[in-house]
Amino acid sequence: MQFGEHFIDELKARLRPSDVIGKHVKLKRQGREFAALSPFSNEKTASFFVNDEKGFYHCFSSGKHGDIISFLMEVEGLSFPEAVERLAIQAGMELPAADPKAEARAASNKKTISIIEQAQVFFEKCLRRDMGGDARAYLKGRGLTGEDCTRFGIGFAPDSFTALVDELSQAGASIDRMVEAGLVIRPDDERENKRPWDRFRNRIMFPITDARGRLIAFGGRAMEAGAKAKYLNSPETSVFHKSQILYRYPNARKALHTPGNGARGLIVAEGYMDVIALARAGFNHACAPLGTALTEDQLALLWRAGPEPILCFDGDKAGLRAAFRSVERALPLVRPGQTLRFALLSDGQDPDDLIRDKGPDAMKRVLEKSIPLVDMLWRREIEKEHLDTPEAKAGLKNRIFTALREISDEGVRDQYKTALLGRFDKEFGRPKWTPGGYDKKWGGKQKPSKSQEQKMQPEAQQMARERRVIGAVLEWPELLESVDQTLFGLKFISPGCENLQNALLSYWQDTIAVDKRALIAHIEEAGLANTIKPFVRERNLIIAAMGGVDAALTDRTVKWLAEARKLMGREDAHGARDETRGRLADTIRSDKRDALQRLARALGPEKSP
């Protein structure tokens, strides 16, 4: 019976190794692990350890290492299918039904993989023969020895159109199977008597395996300087799907789980030689995508191995662009215990260069200085434009909110919101406004022009509106769910309102909660207990201005945004209008027509979107 990877992963997710192994071995907890006497040898001191977090066991006395499936195979002598079936019963999972078509595909794939394995033997032989002299010299120049080539399975495809075709044909392989394996190209029109030819010619060959360690494809580096493609991978086949594979992934995953490694995730480099250089330097938990940006499937592989992989990129512009693409791909997928870190090397360097020039310790220092995903996201946003005007800073804040919407996990999104908006405050502060104009720090003028003076509202009216805006949030903190971005950009004349604005936003960023008692306690702890007293006196007026005690939250939000828009004035109302339009879009999707009409009215003379 065939078991898909998803079935096996689900099986392992449902069963803790300590529960399975504990039925055969008496385990004793030691910190994050469990220890026991080895079931594989006679001993008096515990050398057998089980780690639930990483999903493996390791026996120092015998050197055996594996997961719950391999453990049952070892201690009970079960076959792989028998061990899986036994564990599936324990996990309460139904075994997948037999699929004749799937079994036929598996049998065909097995034959295809066999052909690829024969090609691997041929390429390794060619590297050692006279025809591989230039390739050996190149590899030696990159610091690789003959032992290294054997360890990493490196070979050479000769500069011939038929060398591999002839070799495999003599071994009994059919042309159809060679084409299916991606090793041979069949001419479009065989009536011209053109023979099929080798896909890889005059290239150093790197074997590519799937997550189970099966050889399924090759990557070839051109020896010819003017080759159209410096690196050429096998085409998509029944066994090889480039977007789902990472170079040397099974080796890296095994190394990561070796006791004493200590890393929280795999190292991801950009190419074959970088991974090989890292492994030779002792960083055996390194892998790489196959010449493209990381895909969702590849990220899933990384997180299956460890919670915090480190992506290594050159520190030049191309490397940063690749890092930013990875940020974009990862944001919708991050969740607790599933993130990324980024290690940026000096301009123009890659791990291979750094290790050859300065040694493994230099690479270790780069990895130790890796930055979390949230820091790379911040860097992506601040480097998009010069932040020397109020408009540019507002654009940055809008981009932050756009990025936050990409994060699907609510808890992670809240933490990113706190971190990013807190950093915005620290770096740029909030724009301060008085009747004299904007703060110079925000690119404003010390004194308003005559036209600006004509547009200013009377101070008393403005301050009354400020109290309604702040007082409404004090009365109904749940408004922050919808209006926090607009509140962030408001400029207050009243020092008391400005202080409460800061307190409200710091509360929101720190707690992401809507509890009124907690909010008041936060304000009092900030030394603003006296500042809220006028709002208590005006409570009834504020409630009436927001639609009354029984008004729906949507109605209050509409009225609050309308007040904020008037407070900001026509020139500065873009943020409020944008947020109101966002609320309209959400309401349209929810098909609440009455709420839609109320929100549309909040746009005033502007046309609704």
d(CA 224, CA 205) in angstroms, rounded, equals 14
Contacts of 573 (CB under 8 A, 6+ apart): 565
Structure tokens at 406: 């990409």
d(CA 66, CA 55) in angstroms, rounded, equals 9
Confidence at residue 2, expressed as pLDDT on a 0 to 100 scale: 67
CA 485, 486, 487, 488 torsion-angle sign? positive
Q: Which is more confidently placed, 597 or 504?
A: 504
d(CA 55, CA 50) in angstroms, rounded, equals 8
Please tell me the CATH code under which domain 249-382 is placed: 3.40.1360.10
424-482 pLDDT tens trace? 988 887 544 444 443 444 344 444 444 544 444 467 778 888 999 999 999 998 888 88
Are residues 85 and 96 in contact, defined by beta-carbon separation less than 8 angstroms? Answer: no
d(CA 299, CA 244) in angstroms, rounded, equals 9
Long-range contacts of 72-79 (CB under 8 A, 24+ apart): 72/20, 74/39, 74/40, 75/24, 75/39
170-182 mean pLDDT: 95
Structure tokens at 206: 């790197």
Q: Give the number of other Cβ atoms within 10 Å of residue 59's Cβ.
A: 22
Angle made by CA atoms 497, 553, 418, in degrees to the nearest 5: 55
Structure tokens at 493: 């004349």
Confidence at residue 193, expressed as pLDDT on a 0 to 100 scale: 61
Confidence at residue 315, expressed as pLDDT on a 0 to 100 scale: 79
For the chain, give every domain's residue range. Answer: 5-91, 108-240, 249-382, 436-602
Please tell me the CATH code under which domain 5-91 is placed: 3.90.580.10
Confirm whether 249-382 and 436-602 share one CATH topology: no
Structure tokens at 515: 């509890």
Contacts of 165 (CB under 8 A, 6+ apart): 175, 178, 184, 195, 196, 197, 198
d(CA 312, CA 306) in angstroms, rounded, equals 16
Res. 359 pLDDT band, cuts 50 70 90: very high
Q: Which is more confidently placed, 57 or 598?
A: 57
Q: pTM score, two decimals? A: 0.64
For β-strands 203-209 and 215-222, DSSP reports them as antiparallel
E strands, 81-213, in order: 155-157, 184-185, 197-198, 203-209
Structure tokens at 364: 């270790």
Per DSSP, 42 falls in state: -
Residue type, 43: E
Class level of CATH domain 108-240: alpha beta
pLDDT at 571 over 90: no
CA distances from residue 79 to 68, 83, 86, 107, 414 in whole angstroms, order as listed? 13, 6, 11, 19, 47
pLDDT at 154 over 90: yes
Q: Give the number of other Cβ atoms within 10 Å of residue 246's Cβ.
A: 28
pLDDT at 260 over 90: no
- CATH 3.30.110 corresponds to the domain 436-602: no
Q: Which is more confidently placed, 522 or 23?
A: 23
d(CA 315, CA 106) in angstroms, rounded, equals 43
Are residues 275 and 287 in contact, defined by beta-carbon separation less than 8 angstroms? Answer: yes
Structure tokens at 478: 């749940």
